[in-house]
Structure 1
Amino acid sequence: MKIKPSILLKETFTELLTKYNATPDIISKFSAEIEEQYSGKKKFYHTLAHLQHLLQELKAVKSDIKNWDVMLFSLYYHDIIYNAVKSDNEEQSAELAGKRMQSLGISAEIIQKSKLQILATKKHAESADSDTNYFTDADLAILGQDWETYESYAASVRKEYAIYPDMVYNAGRRKVLKHFLEMDKIYKTKHFQEKFETQAKLNIFKELRFL
């Protein structure tokens, strides 16, 4: 089922682009592109609902974010390219984000920071940049939800990788989940660690038992 962007999601994007003097036509064009890309038939988790969840989580720590505009560009574009059979989704998403920002005349500094944040979602490793840590933590906030929500997330991810048989998918999924458990901590910021770390590990251990 196609998910419509929330009013908050649309208004936030409109306000962001307006700040950089984007015309109504450009705002409409870029908004439509985001809605279309996150509503693809093969997308079940990396959807507009995921963006809405990220925005909600990040707004809670907005006072700790140094560059909110960079964070928002990263949010809207970080999964705009997502193909289950490709390994360069983050790179392609970052490249598209850069092109869209460049067309708005946005500074090279903001573009570079956003592209690096998007690329950071590939491994979710700890960064020297606190904003990047907040962004990657928010991207993983789904891991620390109640089990019912987590179970729905895991099922949605499985649907995105439906092209692969269980034997192949389960091996890859186990590798991803164990990667998170092998980290010193899943969440790099105090806010997200206190909020989600314990539940995230419980959820991951539980999913691993089913794979």
Structure 2
Amino acid sequence: MTVEERLQARWIELAGEQSGAVGSDLIGRYREPHRRYHTMDHLAAMLSVIDELGRDADDVAAVRYAAFFHDAIYAVDRADNEERSAELAETTLPALGATPELVGEVGRLVRLTATHRTAADDHNGNVLCDADLAILAAEASGYAAYTRAVRAEYRHVPDDLFRTGRAAVLRKLAEQPYLFRTPTARRRYESAARANLEAELAALSDERPDELR
């Protein structure tokens, strides 16, 4: 079974048989040619982490819906992808019979992925954001593949500007007391993610551009 087929099966399990066409359209967005990291593989990986952390959520179904929608709209030249993805969820889910409460929660969760800043008692938000950031704790080869994929998505940006922007994003993350909010994710991922961020920030400050390609 391909990644796309597995995602479709998970969508059907979540939203019901009548939602198949919606799921196909939604998952298909993750196959857009400009994507290198924000792909079906990223979505599948997020869902796997949510499976592991689901007991920490108040409504794991809402978190899974939010995962499907969180990068549904992704354009590297826009700053409102999360907002537009949330709006897509809010216009799509009611037609599938979702309650207003579920629709509102999914929209809220998708918007959280713009900053990954959540309250301590936001159990759904903590699970979703931890799943989105779990890649930061990947082993060396996986993290290197991740950074190459992100750079490829921004291949139109000159090296010096990319380094400055990427470093700012990483520093903002690193300045947080914790990268991960759920106890399980913090235990499993925090140390490795901190080490990866430190190593990437050091590489970004290196003046040898070939080492970042």
> Aligned partners of 1:63 and 1:182: how far apart in 2?
28
Structure 1 stretches of 5 or more lacking a match?
A: none
SS at match of 1:42: coil
- Count of paired positions: 202
> Aligned partners of 2:95 and 2:142: how far apart in 1?
38
2:185 aligned residue (182, 192, 201): 192
Shift in Å, 1:105: 2.6
1:201 partnered with 2:194? yes
The amino acid across from 2:4 in the alignment is P
Q: For the Cα contact (< 8 Å) 1:84–1:160, is it kept in 2?
A: yes
Deviations 1:84-125 (A, max 9, x none): 110000000000011110212311111111111111111111
Question: Map of 1:83-94 to 2, 5 A cutoff?
Answer: 83-94=75-86
Question: Map of 1:163-202 to 2, 5 A cutoff?
Answer: 163-202=156-195
The amino acid across from 1:45 in the alignment is Y
CA RMSD of aligned residues (A): 1.3
1:158 aligned residue (140, 145, 151): 151
> Aligned partners of 1:63 and 1:186: how far apart in 2?
19
> Aligned partners of 1:5 and 1:188: how far apart in 2?
29
SS at match of 1:87: coil
> Aligned partners of 1:193 and 1:6: how far apart in 2?
31
Q: For the Cα contact (< 8 Å) 2:8–2:20, is it kept in 1?
A: no
1:68 partnered with 2:88? no
The amino acid across from 1:134 in the alignment is V
The amino acid across from 2:161 in the alignment is V
1:129 partnered with 2:89? no
Q: Quick one: structure 1 residues 169 and 112, their matched pair in 2 at CA, closer, same or farther if it must change by over 3 Å?
A: same
Q: For the Cα contact (< 8 Å) 1:10–1:31, is it kept in 2?
A: yes
The amino acid across from 1:122 in the alignment is A
> Aligned partners of 1:191 and 1:148: how far apart in 2?
23
Shift in Å, 1:11: 1.6
> Aligned partners of 1:133 and 1:52: how far apart in 2?
18
Structure 2 stretches of 5 or more lacking a match?
A: 205-213
2:105 aligned residue (99, 108, 113): 113
| 1:145 aligned partner | 138
Q: For the Cα contact (< 8 Å) 2:50–2:64, is it kept in 1?
A: no
SS at match of 2:117: coil
